[in-house]
Amino acid sequence: MTVATPDVGESADLPSRSFPPGRQLWVVDVEAPPQRLAAFRILSGSFAIAYLLIRLPAFVELSSRSAGFEGSGLAWFLAGPVAPWVVVATIAVTIAAGVGYTTGAAFRLTGPVFAFGVLALTSYRGSWGQLLHFENLVTIHLLIVSLSPAADRWSFDDRRRRRRGVVRPERSPTAYGWPLALASLVVVLTYVIAGVAKLRYGGVEWIFGDTLRNHVAYSAARLDLLGGTPSPVAGWVVGLDVAWPVVAGASVLIELAAPIALLGGRWRTGWVVAVWLMHAGILVFMLVGFPYPLFLVAFAPFYRLERLGRLVGVRRVTAPGDVADVSGRP
């Protein structure tokens, strides 16, 4: 007779253990409890669905475009725009699959469908020339999670298994830790590449010259000419000659210093605070927002997300196949 493991709402006094030494990628754990990966599934899925719904008019508008198309990403093979009904159908299927991804319902199907649907939509939208780089990070994270066992806990799939008395799958803790470690490395590489690109584009003059100040001035002038509303502080900050080398240098330093986030603890949190302030400054000065990092979801893989269960009244449970974290590191 098979017996289901305890529900996340039940109490269990099972012995916990720490991660064996040497099972880390530099200092990022490659072993993790399944709840940690499940929490990142919920966070990334909730963000992506909200983003698609908020940006729905922009995606639907793609169905009426005909000129200026040049396929990129997953749409590289298209010679021209697809029929409007294809765009609308892709949006509907993607959002529906996103609900399954986030709630962990039929995840082995809905997970990949959602991730590749987002990839298709963002690739198609980018085929008209406007590339939103934070969308790439969201999409890569969705792809990583969708191909992992992220629905083994805190999901409808897990609830259905328990109701049927089916034993939860026995997996190595690395099965849950590696996707999070990989997602963390993707974040780090994203910022390092951005910092290198700045120096490759303008060298040290990007820091000591007027490149960044010109970006802010151009953004404000463009919005003003097109009838938009530029940042109310743009005109003032553009005139601060002394400040711009400091701001530009800090931006490059923050991006190139991204690997310190892998050290964990205060190093990680200090870098996350610094990069968040950088994005907040971009929003204030240019009215250009990068919601994925601004809402901190981009940095979620760095943290022990299973602790979020306490905030919603879920008591921590260790069950066969779970790994409890007693390492003491934040």
pLDDT digits (tens, 9 = 90+) for 286-305: 888 999 999 999 999 999 99
- 3 occurs within a structural domain: no
- 323 occurs within a structural domain: no
**Whether 306 and 224 share a structural domain:** yes
The number of angstroms, rounded, from the C-alpha of 49 to the middle of its chain's C-alpha atoms is 12
**Whether 193 and 292 share a structural domain:** yes
| pLDDT the model gives residue 284 | 92
- 8 occurs within a structural domain: no
Beta bridge partners of 25: 28
CB 17 within 8 A of CB 320: no
Segments in the chain forming alpha helices (H): 34-54, 56-61, 84-103, 107-126, 133-146, 156-163, 174-202, 205-208, 211-225, 234-238, 243-256, 265-286, 291-294, 308-311
**Whether 152 and 267 share a structural domain:** no
- Of 98, 126, 157, the one marking the end of a domain is 157
- Of 128, 157, 186, the one marking the end of a domain is 157
317 token code pair: 């449970």
**Whether 117 and 214 share a structural domain:** no
**Phi, psi at 29, each rounded to 5°:** -60, 130
Task: For residues 67-79, give the mean pLDDT.
Answer: 84
* 193-233 pLDDT tens trace: 999 999 998 888 889 988 888 888 888 888 878 777 888 88
| pTM of the shown model | 0.85
The number of angstroms, rounded, from the C-alpha of 272 to the middle of its chain's C-alpha atoms is 14
- 21 occurs within a structural domain: no
With pLDDT > 70 as the criterion, what percentage of the chain qualifies? 85
| pLDDT the model gives residue 110 | 98
- 279 occurs within a structural domain: yes
Task: For residues 260-277, give the mean pLDDT.
Answer: 94
**Whether 223 and 273 share a structural domain:** yes
The number of angstroms, rounded, from the C-alpha of 249 to the middle of its chain's C-alpha atoms is 26
| pLDDT the model gives residue 276 | 98
**Whether 202 and 134 share a structural domain:** no
- Domain with 188, as residue range(s), is 176-310
Beta strands 24-25 and 28-29: pairing type? antiparallel
Instruction: Give the integer Cα–Cα distance in Å for 144 and 112.
Output: 9
> Which one, of 239, 194, 203, 205, lies nearest residue 220 by Cα?
239
Number of domains in the chain: 2
> Which one, of 267, 283, 318, lies nearest residue 12 by Cα?
318
**Whether 292 and 197 share a structural domain:** yes
- 318 occurs within a structural domain: no
**Phi, psi at 204, each rounded to 5°:** -70, -15
Burial of residue 222 (CB within 10 Å: 0-12, 13-18, 19+) is: exposed
Residue with the bigger pLDDT between 144 and 25: it is 144
**Whether 228 and 122 share a structural domain:** no
- 233 occurs within a structural domain: yes
Residue with the bigger pLDDT between 197 and 80: it is 197
> Which one, of 98, 89, 103, lies nearest residue 116 by Cα?
98
**Whether 147 and 181 share a structural domain:** no
**Whether 184 and 300 share a structural domain:** yes
When the pLDDT of each residue in the chain is averaged and rounded to a whole number, the result is: 84
All residues at 6 or more sequence positions from 112 whose CB lies less than 8 Å from its CB, including other chains: 146, 147
Beta bridge partners of 323: none
- 295 occurs within a structural domain: yes
CB 180 within 8 A of CB 40: yes
| pLDDT the model gives residue 28 | 67
| pLDDT the model gives residue 313 | 57
> Which one, of 66, 63, 69, lies nearest residue 85 by Cα?
63
**Whether 211 and 279 share a structural domain:** yes
Q: Is the torsion defined by CA of 316, 320, 322, 326 positive or negative?
A: positive
**Whether 211 and 272 share a structural domain:** yes
Concatenating the DSSP letter of every residue in 58-81 gives: HHHHGGG--SS----GGGTT-SSP
Instruction: Give the integer Cα–Cα distance in Å for 204 and 201.
Output: 9
Residue 327, pLDDT above cutoff 50 = no
Residue 134, pLDDT above cutoff 90 = no
Beta bridge partners of 24: 29
